[in-house]
Amino acid sequence: MRQRAAALVGRLRPELTPADQLRAAASTTIPGRWVGGACAVLAPLLLLAGMVLRARFDFFYPGQLRGYEQHPVLMTWSSSLLTLGVLLLIPAVIAVASGIGVHAAGWALWGGILTVLGLGARLFFAGVDHLAFQLVELEGYGTAHDVVDGAYPAFYVLATVNPANLAGWLVLAVGAWRARTFGGLQCAALGAMAFLVVGILKGTSDTSIPIGVALCAVLVPYGVQLLRTGPFPGGGRIAVGVGAVGAATAALVLLGRAG
């Protein structure tokens, strides 16, 4: 009995991800070592920063619209960080699922698919949020509130996908436990993302920031481990790579604003 209890306690402790799973994640074409590792580090930090910035405003849409009316720059930063965080979570989740798949293929497959579907729905929410904030900017709070209030019950196809956000994180967490990708507490922290309340014009709830911190505690160390699975390039190649990414980002921003 004591041996079983000791084994259970051992499984709950934070663990480094096994080397074979890191190699599997690093060797995949998409997202690969660099993109997967960088996204695993950046995505939860961006999400957490976005949550913190809007924490002062009421959780439901009247408070979010009023927050934008009073603090447009702050809310724009918050929305931008949250959207980037969700976007970068997609390759991060694929990397984690690739590692889990070494020892728990079914759990990795369905956990990865459901979680990515849920994240896709969250990107849709971000687009609706952006439009609502522009209504505040152009037409005022009252008009924006009335439009959102009238349109809120309308059916949209991604409403059927939204439950995948809950199921996906739980399946992924169970898969990580079965594959020993993380320790027990880390798996619980990963599964806690299922309970992050999301939706159109939803703010930061009482549980949002603790869940965001828990996700950082899981994915940031994982991303660092993934990045360290192989040799690092020399300083010159790093400088060229950073410059290329910066130039590409600037070009995308200019092209995006041009419509």
Segment (H or E) for 258: none
Structure tokens at 227: 């990045």
Express each pLDDT in 145-198 by its tens digit: 999 999 998 988 888 888 888 899 999 999 999 999 999 999 999 999 999 998
Structure tokens at 177: 């436990």
Cα–Cα distance measured from residue 102 to residue 181, given in angstroms and rounded to the nearest whole number = 10
| pTM of the entire predicted model | 0.91
What integer is the mean pLDDT of 44-53? 98
Express each pLDDT in 189-248 by its tens digit: 999 999 999 889 999 999 999 999 999 999 999 999 999 998 887 778 778 878 888 898
Would you give the distance in Å from CA 259 to the centre of its chain?
27
Query: Which among 12, 98, 14, 63 is positioned nearest to 204, based on CA atoms?
Result: 63
Q: How confident is the model at residue 14 (pLDDT cuts 50, 70, 90)?
A: low
> Torsion-angle region of residue 201: left (phi > 0), alpha (psi -120 to 50) or beta?
left
N-terminal to C-terminal alpha carbon distance within the chain: 66
Q: How confident is the model at residue 27 (pLDDT cuts 50, 70, 90)?
A: confident
Cα–Cα distance measured from residue 24 to residue 180, given in angstroms and rounded to the nearest whole number = 14
Would you give the distance in Å from CA 42 to the centre of its chain?
9
**pLDDT higher than 60, residue 56:** yes
**pLDDT higher than 80, residue 6:** no
